[in-house]
């Protein structure tokens, strides 16, 4: 027997990030408390270098290594770059939040880096085994991050709920994968695709395995009826963790969806499309309707996330390359809109308080018109109001659903989108039409002001010219 050394070059960004995360972990052990900021800077530097490697090693054609378990292609590279960019913003926003509350520890950034490594492995998975490894590395890191504030009962409760339900979902997903392996005799997604394409009839074991896989994916994305963890975790976790969970991991979950269903099981398109239609309608309905009753902004944004997942499924349901690129465009846009919304909670919160109630935004225009304007951009974009970027994200998936012949589904999505407009406008009303007796000025550092402004203004600028980002998504799927 002989062993052939696999080609390491396609996985260079992942290998670098693994080494960097370990280096940051060791450095954090020996760095004194007064130099703790070094851990943050090393983590940010690692993200920048990893993003540079993803761009420098962008493959012209898909490359497969590690015996078919790892795939490097244009879609994976683009998703990785946006995951790293979103994490860079999340770490920056978290720095202010953690420092003000005495939670500034290296563990947050080390766990964040390992979570990013799991996301990168997930979007480049060429095997069911790699999918599971990437997913578990991501999930275990997030469980620990949610429980970081050990003095908070709500954070501990949220972490326990997330862990228990996450473990259950991982078991369901693994069981589905084992059934697919039993039906096809392989873990390789490309081989599974070929096996399914060669089937003469329906294989019930394979269909049952697909059902379990869809359930696992739905949990990770927070789709109804597997959404129970989302509002509790979003509200209970520290805001620095919530904004991270609500951004980069969603992009990775889309990558997992593409690898498992589009790359691995396209021969069962008719079966998984029907399941996704049900999940989409339920998510848009439940998410938008229950969000209306929320008074906590983090819970409101959690139900908003559930509704947006329903819209994300629309492009996948369309079953075309244009539909997949529209969903990719949608999840990238949503990640940065969501992150901006949670960043505004960090901006308004003090060292001893959380500005996570909708009433905390009352009279924001009197306190600081600029931040009120930024929050206005983010809320209207999430609602899908033109000319903001969120409108074009919804328009792109709706257009592909109509083009696929499911006009009724697009009509349902528009109706629920109109319903969802209510709770976004309620936040705007609080900022501009509700008054506070003694408005307290906001004291925010210049660096935080610049980053939040860049986040929100990018949503506005790209809304005026969305074709550039959409063209990137189209070219990545075409490659």
Residue 1 confidence (pLDDT) above 60: no
Q: Which pLDDT tens digit goes with each residue over 59-98?
A: 888 899 888 899 999 999 999 999 999 999 999 999 888 8
CA 382, 384, 387, 392 torsion: positive or negative? positive
Residue 338: what pLDDT? 93
Instruction: Catalogue the long-range contacts made by 17-23 (C-beta closer than 8 Å, 24 or more residues apart).
Output: 17/46, 17/50, 17/113, 17/116, 17/117, 17/120, 18/117, 20/46, 20/49, 20/50, 20/113, 21/46, 21/110, 21/113, 21/114, 21/117
Q: Are 397 and 327 in contact (CB under 8 A)?
A: yes
Q: Token digits for 127?
A: 């095997």
Task: Band the pLDDT of 479: cuts 50, 70, 90.
Answer: low
Q: Using the structure block, give the residue that is written with the tokens 């998410």.
A: 287
Residue 313 confidence (pLDDT) above 60: yes
Q: Token digits for 110?
A: 């080390």
CA angle, 307 then 235 then 94, to 5° = 100
Q: Which pLDDT tens digit goes with each residue over 316-346?
A: 999 889 999 999 999 999 999 999 999 999 8
Residue 319: what pLDDT? 86
φ, ψ dihedrals at 149, nearest 5°: -80, 90
Residue 275 confidence (pLDDT) above 70: yes
Residue 259: C-alpha distances to residues 130, 350, 467 (Å): 11, 42, 25
pTM for the full predicted model: 0.94
Q: For 256-284, what is the mean pLDDT?
A: 92
φ, ψ dihedrals at 65, nearest 5°: -145, 180
Q: How far apart are CA 390 and CA 336, in angstroms?
A: 10
Q: Is 19 helix (H, G, I), strand (E, B) or coil?
A: helix
Residue 414: what pLDDT? 95
Q: For 142-158, what is the mean pLDDT?
A: 89
Q: Compute the residue count for the chain.
A: 479
Q: How far apart are CA 116 and CA 134, in angstroms?
A: 9
**Is-cis flag, bond preceding 387, omega within 30?**
yes
**Is-cis flag, bond preceding 225, omega within 30?**
yes
Residue 327: what pLDDT? 94
Give buried/exposed letters for 173-195 (b at 16+ CB in 10 A, else e).
bbbbbebbeebbebbbbbbbbeb
Residue 437: what pLDDT? 66
Residue 127 confidence (pLDDT) above 80: yes
Beta-ladder partners of 439 = none
Mean of the per-residue pLDDT values for the chain?
A: 90
Q: Which pLDDT tens digit goes with each residue over 102-116?
A: 788 888 999 999 999
Residue 415: what pLDDT? 95
Residue 201: what pLDDT? 64
Residue 7: what pLDDT? 79
Residue 248: what pLDDT? 92
Q: Which pLDDT tens digit goes with each residue over 4-43?
A: 777 788 899 999 999 999 999 999 888 887 778 889 999 9
Residue 2: what pLDDT? 58
Residue 139: what pLDDT? 93
Q: Are 343 and 414 in contact (CB under 8 A)?
A: no
How far apart, in Å, do the first and last CA atoms of the chain sit? 36
Residue 278: what pLDDT? 95
Residue 262 confidence (pLDDT) above 60: yes
Q: Is 105 helix (H, G, I), strand (E, B) or coil?
A: coil
Angle at which helices 153-184 and 204-221 cross, to 10°: 160
Q: Which pLDDT tens digit goes with each residue over 407-417?
A: 999 999 999 99
Which parts of 101-225 fold into alpha helices (H)?
106-123, 128-146, 153-184, 189-197, 204-221
Residue 176 confidence (pLDDT) above 80: yes
**What are the extents of the domains in the chain?**
9-478
Other beta carbons within 10 angstroms of residue 127's beta carbon come to 24
φ, ψ dihedrals at 127, nearest 5°: -145, 155
Residue 236 confidence (pLDDT) above 80: yes
Residue 401: what pLDDT? 94
Q: For 262-290, what is the mean pLDDT?
A: 92
Residue 306: what pLDDT? 95
Q: For 352-361, what is the mean pLDDT?
A: 81
Q: Are 408 and 398 in contact (CB under 8 A)?
A: no
φ, ψ dihedrals at 188, nearest 5°: -70, 125
Task: Band the pLDDT of 3: cuts 50, 70, 90.
Answer: low
Half-sphere exposure of 271 (CA within 13 A, CB side): 19
Q: Token digits for 383?
A: 């609602």
Q: Are 294 and 301 in contact (CB under 8 A)?
A: no
């Amino acid at each position: 027997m002989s062993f052939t050394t696999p080609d390491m070059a396609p996985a260079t960004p992942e290998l670098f990030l693994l080494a960097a995360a370990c280096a940051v972990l060791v450095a954090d052990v020996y760095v004194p408390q007064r130099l703790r900021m070094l851990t943050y800077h090393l983590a940010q530097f690692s993200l920048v270098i990893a993003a540079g490697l993803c761009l420098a090693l962008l493959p012209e054609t898909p490359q497969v290594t590690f015996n078919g378990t790892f795939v490097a292609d244009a879609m994976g590279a683009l998703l990785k770059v946006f995951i790293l960019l979103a994490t860079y913003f999340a770490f920056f926003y978290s720095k202010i939040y953690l420092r003000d509350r005495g939670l500034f520890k290296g563990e947050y950034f080390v766990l964040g880096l390992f979570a990013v490594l799991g996301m990168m492995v997930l979007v480049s998975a060429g095997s069911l085994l790699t999918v599971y490894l990437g997913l578990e590395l991501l999930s275990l890191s997030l469980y620990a991050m949610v429980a970081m504030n050990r003095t908070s009962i709500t954070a501990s409760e949220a972490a326990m709920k997330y862990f228990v339900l996450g473990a259950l979902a991982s078991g369901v997903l693994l069981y589905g994968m084992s059934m697919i392996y039993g039906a096809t005799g392989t873990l390789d997604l490309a081989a599974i695709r070929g096996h399914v394409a060669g089937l003469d009839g329906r294989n019930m074991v394979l269909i049952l395995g697909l059902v379990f896989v869809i359930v696992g994916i739905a949990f990770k994305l927070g789709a109804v009826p597997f959404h129970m963890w989302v509002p509790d975790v979003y509200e209970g976790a520290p805001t620095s963790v919530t904004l991270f969970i609500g951004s980069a991991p969603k992009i990775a979950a889309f990558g997992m969806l593409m690898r498992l269903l589009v790359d691995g099981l396209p021969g069962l398109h008719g079966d998984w499309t029907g399941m996704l239609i049900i999940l989409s309608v339920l998510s848009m309905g439940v998410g938008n309707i229950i969000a209306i009753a929320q008074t906590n902004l983090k819970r409101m944004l959690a139900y908003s996330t559930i509704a947006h997942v329903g819209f994300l499924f629309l492009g996948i349901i369309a079953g075309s390359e244009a539909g997949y690129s529209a969903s990719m465009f949608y999840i990238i846009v949503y990640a940065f809109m969501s992150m901006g919304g949670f960043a505004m909670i960090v901006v308004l919160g003090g060292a001893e308080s959380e500005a996570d109630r909708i009433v905390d935004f009352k009279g924001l225009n009197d306190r600081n018109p600029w931040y009120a304007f930024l929050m206005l951009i983010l809320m209207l974009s999430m609602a899908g109001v033109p000319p903001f970027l969120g409108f074009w994200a919804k328009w792109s998936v709706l257009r592909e659903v109509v083009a696929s012949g499911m006009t009724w589904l697009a009509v349902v999505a528009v109706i629920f989108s109109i319903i969802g407009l209510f709770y976004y406008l309620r936040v705007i009303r609080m900022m501009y039409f509700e008054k506070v007796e003694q408005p307290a000025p906001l004291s925010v550092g210049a660096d935080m002001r610049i980053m939040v402004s860049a986040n929100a203004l990018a949503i506005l600028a790209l809304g005026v010219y969305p074709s550039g980002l959409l063209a990137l998504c189209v070219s990545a799927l075409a490659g």
